[in-house]
Structures are given as structure tokens and as C-alpha cells.
Structure 1
């Protein structure tokens, strides 16, 4: 069973240098137990690393893009070879002039094509790799070219200050949501611009005529008012280009040693889920499926769900996100896969990566 995405997208670049999905709601719903066999879309690595905190028996990291796996292997090496603060500096979560020096400490943990790739891309290392993905660069362009025309750095800092809900609404309505914000935000977050500068335009093949910019505008308003912006690392990075107050879950100090000690439980595969399952004899208990179903037809989506069902344990949990293509198990699979829609809805309401239109949680029943 061939992956439909493999025929569409250029997999020769780093598309995501950071994971742009909230690992805290992911961990909440997966409820990983000690010894569970998990499958995770590798992407940029942070959410897969976060899953290691829960002591799974194994995590099978899958990605069609070999360069994404080179990135995950680099981050894995940084966990193993560096001290906590050094790792943050090296990867770009904090400022540093010593990244080439730190890279030298990783040599015993980088092998073959991974070592070759990074030796040939030292500029990415020196920039701090989390800043170098296509999607991450999209947010840098937004901050430098668009946000700077709308709000001053002082106003951005004011947005990120601690406020109660009433104060957040007052600030948003009176100081943030001006005409420039409304117009320029909607232009920049249109399907055309996002496809040209951020995500691959082919990844909108199955999106309907819903306006992406309208969805993003409403989601941004929700994140800036209903949720506590001062505790949101993703919004802080998007608006300032750095992390000063908050870090993503996998990069917090309290999780460093647990992840480091469990990295031997992670194995990485440059293959589609379909191909992996066809050759595997394992039973999977928990699935982090990112937003992969957006990129395939409804027919291929159903086929892949059936393949996942075949290789899942009874009670296995699937978690994934929707942005512009609504995907949830079709009714004809209702006797095999149960939708946990209320749980998903409640968690989506506190999702710090605010730009997804939906979060989906399903359970396998055998």
C-alpha cells in the first residue's frame, strides 16, 4: 500500500524544525502506560520525545521525509551528548555563539548519512536548527514583514504579560485587533501565502472552499483571549522569534533526564505507516498521527484506518489534528473505531497550538 503523500511533496528539505502540535493534550489523551508500544509521526521530534517521559516500551518514529529524521537524530544526539543548558543553546531554544563547539561533542552519536548531512549544512547548526524549517521560517517572515507593520515590540510584550480573561479581551479589542491586524493577518494567512511560504500547496488538495485566513483569524482571537497567552510558548515564539518565558514540554528541565534515559526506546524509520505496518509483526497501543490524514483522499484515509485497526491492540488510542480537511473515522468503521469526540473537544479547547480547526481522538475496539 503506497502512501499518497509520497507522490506529492518535496521531501528534500526540513519542513518543520519544531513540532507545531501541543504535546500536553496529546499526552493527556494517549495516557501512555509503561511498556506500551507507540507509533509517532517523527516530524521535528519534540512530541515524540515528550512521549518518552511516560516510559513506553517502545516508540516507533515514522517519517517519509529523510531530512526530518536527520533532524530528529541531531536532537536525539544533543540530548545524549550535552548538558541541559547546552542543549537549549545548541538547538536554538536559547541564544548561543558556541553551536559549532557543541556540535563537536555530538560526533560519537551521529553516524553515516546523518553526520554527512549536518557536516554539509553547518549554517543550519549555527542558526539554531529550530529556526530553519520552511514552516518555522514562515512565522519569521510574518513577524519581521507583517507584524512589525502592525504592532511595536512594546505592544507585543504587553500582549504576552499575565492578564485575567476580562483583561485579555479588553486588550485584544482595544489595543490589538486594529484594522491593520485584521487586513494584513487575513492576507498573510490565506491559502495562497501559506502554501507559497509555509506548507506545501499540494497539501491543500482536499481542502474545501473554507477561508483559511478566516479560520486562522478566529483561532488567533480565541488563543489571545480565552487562553492565557503568557503561558503559551508557541505564541511567544511566533511573535518574538524566541523562547524566554515558556518552553515546549520536551524542552523543559524537569523532563530532560527522563527523555535522555529513555532514548534507547526510540527507533526511527524512513517509511510510510502503510509500508511499516505491512512488514511489522508488532501490535501498536498508542498512535500520534499528527495531521497526516489531511494530505490524502477520503478513500486512502479509510484504507489507512483499516490498516491501523489490523495492527492495533484492543483499546488502542489514535490522536490526530485537522486544519482544513475534516477527517474522522467514517460511519462504516463505527463498530471497529469509536470516536471520543467529547474528550477531543474539551482538549482542543485548551490546545496551545491554536491554528488547528479540530483535534480527533479515537479508540480501537476488537
Structure 2
């Protein structure tokens, strides 16, 4: 499986023949074999509003940390098929699906995935979840790394691990060197307090020589899942400098949404979910959605394939929703056209495609063939609304296309 997964990742990531960029792309590809996103960094609430999920819908998405797959299931679609090139993401998605099917109540499910730091999670795994896993997924979670089994991550603070978890740990280290304490931000009660905190404590960090030096290296953002090609798009938005773009997106994450309603900010600045009884959570972790999630978990599946490969095996006019995350930022023109040919073939009348871009502009015009794009209408209002409301704030824009067929 590892060799096959590596070949798929290389095909997706390796775009540049330049020696330096090519080496960085190969390094990024190797890193993606392991766990990158313990939590997905696209807001599933924004996704679900744009998709307008109906009971008969068949959706296909890129999984990442599978918060999207699990959240879409709470709306009761006919099916959600998730794909991902990372074997670790596949194992995480299958673990979540098995847990939704087998854990006895929301309290246990919340403890395992929202807390993800309690010793008794080991008992929940052994007693309820383990038997529902396929042998390959069970072997992944029970492998020793190097002494303790991987599943013990859910007893030791799962969200502090993976490439993103380690990146956020490094951010906290740099912030500490700058004398920053995030506790006042997490205690803020108004957007004005959040903005004042940013202006006083965070904005000056972007003038530190260490931050400016690190931001000049494309590999510095690998922890956010940003490959060299996407880094270059961000830099172009900043006039050749990625730092102004990063500054604005950190500002949006900190200041544009009430901190009590933004679990992405809690993950970034507390490295956990808000422990308060009414703390913000992804839809799949909310108590009111657990019954539906348990009932519909059988309708979810996740496989280690590219989205294009998956769609090539599906029937024409069979999908009502496509969720591409930011994968197109990684693609060259040939890959984009092959993907959109399959999306167009498998799209049912009225189907929606949603995706995000690292930059602020839509990347499809002028790159995807007109005979394909003519089947689709860009929903400018829904795109602008999604861009404004996406609490993760990490992307430049959210885009919605509707099939005209």
C-alpha cells in the first residue's frame, strides 16, 4: 500500500522540473504519507450551506481529516464517498466511521474525538471500536511508533500530533519567544477585544526577523499542507512576499468571528476544542447530530485513490455534490482538464462543485477547456458568502460552480 500511495502522491505533487523546487516537492510528497491533518481546515458548515444536501444526494469529497465526510453524513445524504492520497488520512476516516457505528452514545464519541487526551480512550477503542475496523486500518492504529501504539495518540492529545499539530507547536514556540500568551484571546468576549489583542500582541510578531526569515522558505509552510506551487500562489497575492498574506489570514482567524464560535481558532491557539459545555465544535461532534451520524455512518466510505481515478469508475450523472478542497492548486492544466471531464460526465442536473484556493482568484478560467466550462455556471454570490463565512480563514477564496445540465 505504501508504494502505491507514494506513487499517487508523487503524481499529484511533482510538477516542477527545476532542481530546487523538484526536491521540495518530493519532500512534501514523502511527508504526506504520514498524518498531516488531525482536523480538517475547511469549514464544513460553509460546505453544507453551499451544497444544500438533500436526502437523495450522492456526494464525493477529498477526505483530509474526515471532519467534512462525517459532518456531511449528519444531513442524511444517500452516500458520501471520500478519497485521499494519504494512507494516514484513510485510516483516520475509517476510524471515525467505525466509532460512529459502534460507540454507545455521544458522551463516548465526544470523549474520544473532541477530548482525544484521556487514558480511558484506550478502553473505548478496545471495547467498542476495534472490532469494527478492517484489518488494514486496525494494523495501522495498532502499529508501534516506536514504542506505543498509534491509537494511543487519542490518549495523549491527538490534535498536537501530525504535521499540522507539530507546525502549530512551532508557532506557539515562536510566539512564546515574542512574549505572546494566547489566554487573553481565548477569554475575549467581543470582536473589538479580539482585534485589540491582535493589534497589540500579534501584528508585531510579523516584524520579527525570525518570522520574516522563516516565511521566506517554501518548506516553512509544509506543516499547513501547502506545497511549493501553492506557496508561490500565496506569494503572488502578496506582491512577491507571502508574509502580508499570512498576516491578513491570521488576523481574519483571530478577529472576524467570535472566538467562542470558532473552533478553528481554538485549535490554532489552544491546540484543543473549547472545553466549555457550549463550546464550538464541528457538526459531527455536536450532541444534537450524534443520532443521525450513527444512523447514516454506513453511507460513508473512504478509499486511497485520487478523485479523478475514483470518478472514472462511477456512472454518468450519478453525483450531486463534489468537494475538491484546495487540491486544484496542486494541479497542472492537463490534470485539471482530466478531472473536470470526469466531474462533468458524472454530474447530475443541478450538481454543485465547491473548492477553495490559496490565492484570491478562481484558477479555472483560461485553464480548463471552454467545452467543459460551458456546462457550468459560477455562483458569484454563494462564492462570496462562503469566502466571508469560512471560519478557518486559511484560504484566499471559496468557490461554487453549478451544473447547467
**TM-score in terms of structure 2 length:** 0.81
Tell me which of 221, 230, 248 is aligned to 2:282.
Answer: 248
SS at structure 1 position matched to 2:389: coil
Structure 1 residues 140 and 352: alpha-carbon distance in aligned structure 2, compared to 1, 3 A threshold: same
Q: How far apart are the structure 1 equivalents of 2:339 and 2:217?
A: 26
Deviates more, 1:126-135 or 1:272-281: 126-135
Deviation at 1:276, TM superposition (A): 1.6
Deviations 1:276-334 (A, max 9, x none): 22222251101111111011113321331122111101210001111148544326244
SS in structure 1 of the partner of residue 61 of structure 2: strand
Q: State the partner residue of 1:286.
A: 321
Q: Is the 8 A contact 2:59 2:320 kept in 1?
A: yes
Work out whether residues 234 and 242 of structure 2, in 8 Å CA contact, stay in contact via their aligned partners in 1: no
Q: Which residue of 2 aligns with 1:308?
A: 343
SS at 2:131's partner residue? coil
Partner residue, 1:216? 246
Q: Secondary structure of 1:207's partner? A: helix
Secondary structure at the aligned position of 2:272 is classed as: coil
Deviation string 1:47-101 (CA, Å, 9 cap, x unpaired) is: 1111011110111111122221111111222222223232233336353112222
Pairing of 1:50-65 with structure 2 (within 5 A): 50-65=71-86
In the alignment, structure 1 segments of 5+ residues that lack a partner are: none
Shift of 1:218: 0.8
Which residue number in structure 1 is paired with residue 297 of structure 2? 263
Q: Do the aligned partners of 1:291 and 1:322 also contact (CA within 8 Å) in 2?
A: yes
The within-5 A match list for 1:2-41 is 4-5=11-12, 9-10=29-30, 11-41=32-62
Q: 1:161 aligns with which of 175, 180, 187?
A: 187
Q: Which residue of 1 aligns with 2:392?
A: 353
CA RMSD of aligned residues (A): 2.5
| Aligned equivalent of 2:19 | none
CA 1:32–1:163: 2 relative to 1, 3 Å: same
Rounded to whole Å, the distance in 1 between the matches of 2:217 and 2:401 is 29
Residue 272 (structure 1) aligns with: 306
Paired residue for 1:230, among 248, 260, 277? Answer: 260
Write out per-residue CA displacement over residues 224-259 of structure 1, whole angstroms, 9 at most, x where no aligned residue.
Answer: 233222321111111111112322222111122211
Query: Structure 2 unaligned runs (5+)?
Result: 1-7, 15-25
Secondary structure, aligned partner of 1:345: helix
CA contact under 8 A between 1:206 and 1:294: conserved in structure 2? Answer: no
Give the conservation status (yes or no) of the 8 Å contact 1:206–1:325.
no
Q: Could you tell me how far apart the structure 2 residues matched to 1:172 and 1:298 are?
A: 39
Q: 8 Å contact 1:55–1:262 — kept in the other structure?
A: yes
What's 2:17 paired with? none
Tell me the CA shift for residue 190 of structure 1: 4.9
Cα distance in 2 between the residues matched to 1:235 and 1:191: 25
Counterpart of 2:138 in 1: which secondary structure? Answer: helix
Instruction: State how many pairs are aligned.
Output: 361
2:166 corresponding residue in structure 1: 137
Tell me what 1:85 maps to.
Answer: 107
Take 2:234 and 2:214, find their aligned partners in 1: how far apart are those partners?
19
